[in-house]
Homo-oligomer: A and B are copies of this chain.
Amino acid sequence: MNSFQGNPTQRTTIQLLQSHSLTTLVQQEIARLIETGELSAGDKLNEWSVAERLGVSRGPVREAFRALAETGLLRMEKNRGVFVRQVSIKEAEEIYEVRAALDQLVGRRLAEIIRPEQLKELRVIVNGMEKAAAKQDVDAYYPLNLRFHDTLVQFTGNSKLLTTYRRIVNELNLYRRDALAGEKGNLLVSTREHKKIVDAIASGDPDRASRALHDHVAAGRERMHRAHGIREPVQITRARKKST
Chain B residue nearest in CB terms to A71 = B70
Residues of chain A whose beta carbon lies under 8 Å from any beta carbon of chain B? 19-21, 23, 59, 62-64, 66-67, 69-71, 78, 91, 94-95, 97-98, 100-102, 104-105, 109, 158-161, 164, 167-168, 171
Pull 9 A–B residue pairs with CB atoms less than 8 Å apart, ordered by A. Answer: A59-B59, A59-B62, A70-B70, A91-B160, A94-B158, A97-B105, A97-B158, A98-B161, A101-B104
In the assembled complex, the Cα of A122 lies from the Cα of B104 at a distance in Å of 28
Chain B residues whose C-beta falls within 8 Å of the C-beta of A109 in the assembled complex: 97
In the complex the two chains form, is B66's CB within 8 Å of A159's CB?
no
A23 → chain B, closest Cβ, in Å?
Answer: 7
A168 CB to nearest chain B CB (Å): 6
> Are A164 and B164 in contact, CB atoms less than 8 angstroms apart?
yes
Q: Check if A20 sits within 8 Å of B102, measured CB to CB.
A: no
Chain B residues, Cβ within 8 Å of A78: 19-21
Q: What distance in Å separates the Cβ of A147 from its nearest Cβ neighbour in chain B?
A: 21
Q: In the complex, what residue of chain B is closest to A79 when comparing beta carbons?
A: B21
CB distance from A145 to the nearest CB of B (A): 21
A158–B105 Cα distance when bound, in Å, is 19
A160 pairs with B164, CB closer than 8 A: no
Most central of A20, A62, A70 by chain B CB within 10 Å: A70
**A94 to nearest B CB, angstroms?**
4
- Nearest-CB distance from A243 to chain B (Å)? 13
Residues in B neighbouring A63, C-beta threshold 8 A: 62-63, 66
The minimal Cβ–Cβ distance linking A103 to chain B, given in whole angstroms, is 9
